Amino acid sequence: MKIANFDLIVFDWDGTLMDSTAAIVKSIQAAAADLGVPVPEKEAAAYVIGLGLREAMESAVPGLDPKHYPRIVDRYRHHYQIKSQELELFDGVREMLDDLTRRGHFLAVATGKSRAGLNRVLHDTGLGAYFHATRCADETFSKPHPAMLNELTRELGQEMERTVMIGDTTHDLLMAANAGASGVAVRYGAHPEGELLLHRPVFTAASVPDLHQWLLDNA
């Protein structure tokens, strides 16, 4: 019988489980336009996906008076909530989570979303029951700080060397490296494959079915 390499599998949300990259980029750009400040290019807006919302806005729209960031965050939330009604999970996500659950893995989420935002989408998608624990950027340090993974492993009684972090951004892979966990990249999300490969993920998935098969074979 094959011995599993990973007991705890941690997923990023946006761009990894949910096809939301374009909606996030457009919401960042619309929020900047609302305030009449320079609108970031698509690549700059995509780069900040995965960070906490305040950190993301400070990076995507740098140099503003600090008093403007709460307003731009509010406008982002307004635009994203409108777009979020149309968002869908990537094909194959439910089947993957079903298989991993049957195999007895601990599953978790580490995301740049707010707690309210994650709770809402877990409810709307019906995926909440799959995850043993979750961490959001507004309740601990944002990626790439290792706090989310440190807290998840402690909560679930798991070892970091038997934990894998799966995400679509360099922030996810850096968090895994900073925590001492393995990192798996998906190249269908926010960051280009070339940037992801610089951080030496143990695997790079072209699609959710590709990721699913790798996890069956290696996790």
Residues serving a catalytic function are 12, 14
CA distance 25 to 156: 33
Any bridge partners for residue 133, and if so which?
108
Q: How many CB atoms lie within 10 A of CB 37?
A: 15
CA distance 171 to 149: 13
Annotate 171-208 with b (16+ C-beta within 10 A) or e (fewer).
bbbbbbbebebbbbbbbbbbbeeeebeebebebbbeeb
> Are 85 and 18 spatial neighbours (Cβ–Cβ below 8 Å)?
no
Any bridge partners for residue 136, and if so which?
111
Q: Tell me if residue 14 falls in helix, strand or coil.
A: strand
Q: Tell me if residue 89 falls in helix, strand or coil.
A: strand
Q: Is the dihedral of CA 62, 67, 69, 72 positive or negative?
A: negative
The full DSSP string for 92-157 is THHHHHHHHHHTT-EEEEEESS-HHHHHHHHHHHT-GGG-SEEEETTSSPPTTSTHHHHHHHHHHT
